[in-house]
Amino acid sequence: MTASDQTDQLRTKTKQFAIGVLKLFGTLPKTPETLAIQGPLAKAATTLAANARALARAWSEDDFHRNRNLASGDADDCVFWLELLGAAGTEQDQPIQALLEEVTDILALLSICGEPDKPAVPSMPVDVAPAPVPDEPASPPLPTNFHGLRVLAFESRMASEIGRLIGRYDGRPLVVPALREVPIPLQDNGAVLRFGVKLILHQVDILILMTGVGTKALFEVLQTRYPLAEVIEALRKTIVVTRGPKPLAALKAIGVESNITVPEPNTWQDVIATLDYYRPVQGLKIAVQEYGVSNPDMLEDLRKRGAEVFPVPIYRWALPEDTGPLRAAVADILDGKIDVMLVTNAAQIDHVMRLVEQDGQTERFRAACRNLVVGSIGPTASERLKHHDLPVDFEPSHPKMGVLVKETAERTASLLQAKRGVRSA
């Protein structure tokens, strides 16, 4: 498929997707939740279609990449809003799931979309010396996809999506969740209630929102104690920092804008660096919405800068209730049946290593990982892999799941050849 074919297909698919989203709104109940989600979802879907259309008119390579990155961000926003809509209890699960599958396909197509066609340059006749006859035929080029290799991913929330992406790049997917999100019961979470009191009394100077799911859950908890209008008023008198687009989207869902949005790759170090750039935090009261596990390094860095910091945990990560599939995946790695391992969350590898250590297989597991390609979604996941003395063979240009799968697929053959000393199948 040529670049023109890809952009034409994208233009058609994104237009159909936007129409599907708009038609969905006519079937939804008019609840406060759905009304809050409709606006940003409609904007993300129609902007996605517009940016995909702009790909066909790109006047330079830089313009093409800029429009493709914008469209990828819009598609990622659509996934987030559709997931929120599905969680809102609309009784429209089937059409919402169908739209999620559509936008996942669009993300995959965006990730493989090539450069705009360049006009052929007429060649001038030149004298060409005859090519020497090689002693032996040249090796065929290395494949630029997974080429039938076995690809393991530990993703849970978007398990079906990553499986489809791996399959699109000719991989044989094995998707085994390594974690589950466990909400902290309100009666056991005094930190959230204390935060609510401080927020309403305007005793919070800065609120750092780390995840979209955690931000949504935090506001839901606050609304059990306070009217939404009161929460919004308090937030507007607070400096709100969002770690990337997903918490920003959850914030916008209740009609509040972020004061500061942390750029990619959205690590906790980027949060600290962004705050350092905008203003000193000496003497300020900072609340940090935590997710999965606490981050003592981030909290300590803020305290070293003179801030009064209090964490606000919303949910914890735990191992899957049934660890059988995860243990079976580990056994496949030990037996050399896995060619590529994709890590999309730092906690995934912590949980895998917990099982490996319980079974006394730590050194065997490390040795096995040195013989396969390990792809990490970004610096935070890479840090945990290195902490466990595991290799990090590849990080994508952007910390997005679709980009991770695409770019790892492109590099796998050469990486495996370097690691194993043989060409991959």
Least confident of 67-71, 212-216, 225-229: 67-71
The confidence score (pLDDT) of residue 123 equals: 44
pLDDT range class, residue 52, cuts 50, 70, 90: confident
The confidence score (pLDDT) of residue 335 equals: 97
Select the highest-mean-pLDDT range: 177-186, 275-284, 308-317, 360-369. 360-369
Token pair of 125 as six digits: 């006749």
pLDDT digits (tens, 9 = 90+) for 288-337: 999 888 899 999 999 999 999 999 998 889 999 999 999 999 999 999 99
Higher pLDDT, 195 or 116: 195
Question: 3-112: which CATH architecture?
Answer: Up-down Bundle (1.20)
- Note whether 270 and 263 are within 8 A (CB): yes
pLDDT range class, residue 194, cuts 50, 70, 90: very high
pLDDT for residue 193 is more than 50 = yes
Q: What CATH number matches the domain at 182-318, 1.10.357.10, 3.40.50.10090, 1.10.530.10, 3.40.50.620?
A: 3.40.50.10090
Distance CA 10, CA 69 (A): 14
The confidence score (pLDDT) of residue 124 equals: 46
Can you tell me the mean pLDDT for 143-151? 90
Residue-averaged pLDDT of the chain: 87
Tell which residue, 387, 402, 289, has the closest CA to residue 346: 387
Distance CA 30, CA 33 (A): 8
Can you tell me the mean pLDDT for 73-101? 84
The confidence score (pLDDT) of residue 409 equals: 94
pLDDT for residue 74 is more than 60 = yes
Can you tell me the mean pLDDT for 248-274? 90
Tell which residue, 379, 395, 181, has the closest CA to residue 266: 379
pLDDT range class, residue 172, cuts 50, 70, 90: very high
In the chain, residues under CATH classification 3.40.50.10090 are 150-179+321-420, 182-318
The confidence score (pLDDT) of residue 386 equals: 95
Token pair of 286 as six digits: 């900072």
The confidence score (pLDDT) of residue 94 equals: 86
pLDDT for residue 173 is more than 60 = yes
In the chain, residues under CATH classification 1.20.1440.60 are 3-112
Strands 373-376 and 172-175: unpaired
- Note whether 256 and 236 are within 8 A (CB): yes
Token pair of 389 as six digits: 């003395």
The confidence score (pLDDT) of residue 30 equals: 85
The confidence score (pLDDT) of residue 120 equals: 41
pLDDT for residue 132 is more than 60 = no
The confidence score (pLDDT) of residue 292 equals: 82
pLDDT range class, residue 162, cuts 50, 70, 90: very high
Q: What is the largest CA-CA distance in the chain?
A: 84
Distance CA 332, CA 368 (A): 10
Can you tell me the mean pLDDT for 346-368? 96
Q: What's this model's pTM, rounded to 2 decimal places?
A: 0.69
The confidence score (pLDDT) of residue 114 equals: 61
* Assigned CATH for 150-179+321-420: 3.40.50.10090
